[in-house]
Structure formats: C-alpha cells, structure tokens
Structure 1
C-alpha cells in the first residue's frame, strides 16, 4: 500500500493565497503530484427586521424596492475574452504606465489586452480577434477565476 505524502506547508500557503485574493479555489500540479485547495463561500447572514412599534394612527407601508436583477453571464457573450486561469488581473504593465487598452479602442488580433499574474508569473491575455473594446469588466488588482469574462470585444 502506498503512502500519500502531504505537504502541509504548501497547503497552508495555498490557503493563505485564497484568503488574500478572495478566490474560492486554487490548484498546483508538479509531475504526478497535485494539490487543490477549495474554500467554501462564507455563509450569508440575513437580517431579521425588528417588529414595528404599535402606532396610534395607521401608517402607510413603505414601498419595497424590487430585488436587483442578476447581471447576465457575460462569459457567454460572443465577444467575451475570458480568463484562461485563476490569478490577479492587471490592466497595465506597471502602475505608472497607461492601460494596455481602454473602452472604445480598436484592437487587432493578438494585441495585449491585460495581464494575469498567477504563481508570480505574468501572462499576457491577447485579443482573439480584431474589433472594438466595448467593456472592460475587471479593474487592476482584481482576482479573477478561470472562465471569468474580462473584456468584451464587439
């Protein structure tokens, strides 16, 4: 029977990355070894309204705003450029430089749109086709998940 070797320090380091970035899962693989750490979403606490005080005169009810509509899944948009990995998005090569692209800008296929840092490596995310950047859906420093829509090119 083979023994499973667990690198507790690696697991702690990955858990710390999850906490620092707000991501829900991370995985690393090296040769035949793989470590995947998944964090459950924090439970959402619901506030229970206090009972209304008894009033001598009837009070008109306050209109309740309808719940906000869930945004459409932009990763399904035909012009969506999605993240190929989990990491941190950066819109410029460094904080003092201008952004690679801006909304309304024309881009050509292969042009760098942004960077994603994963495991201390910066990966260029390039435009898959020519078009106009209609929306940039992330900000510099935002953690991104695999498959998350980053930019919409029309």
Structure 2
C-alpha cells in the first residue's frame, strides 16, 4: 500500500501549528496516526493501522465474557499514576467498587475510571499510553 507523503507532511505541520503531540487521519480502510514527544530533538512517530487490525483488536475483547469497563471519554489510557509506578489494576487482581481501574488523560486532565462493582480483573484491554475512544472496552471484570 502506498501512502501519500503529503498527508503525513500536512499532519506533521498540524502538530507544530496547534502544539499537538498526536493527530490521526482516517479515510476508508486507511488510518494514519502521527505523534511526537515534546522533548528537545524529538522526531515524529508515524503509525499506519488498517481497519482490519483495529477490528481484530476490538473482537478480541468482545470474545471474553464478563462485565466490560468502558472509557468514559476520548483520551490516553494510563495503567499507573506515574511512569514505572504500581499499576492500578492487573489481570487476576481483586478490585472493589469505586477503586481506580486506570486513568484516561484528556486535555491535560487526569480522569480516574472507577470500578463499577466488586470483582476480579479478567483482562486489561489497552496498553499503557494507548489512545482510547469513548465507549471503548478498557478492561473486563469477572
């Protein structure tokens, strides 16, 4: 598959123009995400994910039975309060209603996602630092 380099250049320009760290572009079965860190000398990271890959990831979480915990907002999921810190929830760990499952950061605001009921974490469906959508399954509770 050939990607139009002008799209990548334009997305990278938007990162600088609007002081963003990440931007995503989707058209038919093509999805391009451009992101970069805010450090000195940082370089953009370009990811190309087909819709089939996204659907496979989503179908994996739908195959597991249990209570699904979904993201309340669009943002970036963090499994621990700080890099290298102890995770809020891990597979197999018991968790109580109201305990934080993970944090979803949006617009520099850290939003704690509470557990809806007592149970055991059956599956964590996102990686640390992964972008999440509203309503996306982020964990499954047994």
> Is there any run of 5+ residues in structure 1 with no aligned partner, and where?
1-8, 23-38, 45-67
Query: Post-superposition shift, 1:41?
Result: 3.4
8 Å CA contact 2:61, 2:125 repeated in 1: no
- The runs of 5 or more residues in structure 2 that have no matched partner are 1-13, 31-52
Match of 1:122 in 2: 110
Number of aligned residues: 103
**Structure 1 residues 121, 142: CA separation in 2 closer, same or farther (over 3 Å shift)?**
same
Quote the RMSD (CA, aligned, Å). 3.1
Deviation of 1:85 after TM superposition, in Å, equals: 0.6
Partner of 1:13: 18
> Which stretch shows the higher mean deviation, 115-124 or 73-82?
73-82
* 2:128 corresponds to 1:140: yes
| Deviation, structure 1 residue 70 | 4.2
- Alpha-carbon contact 1:75-1:147 (below 8 Å) kept: no
1:75–1:148 CA contact under 8 A, matched in 2: no
TM-score (norm 2): 0.61
SS in 1 for 2:18: helix
| TM-score, reference length from structure 1 | 0.57
Structure that is richer in strand per residue: 2
Q: Are the structure 2 counterparts of residues 75 and 117 from structure 1 closer, same or farther at C-alpha, using a change threshold of 3 Å?
A: farther
User: Which structure has the greater CA radius of gyration?
Assistant: 1
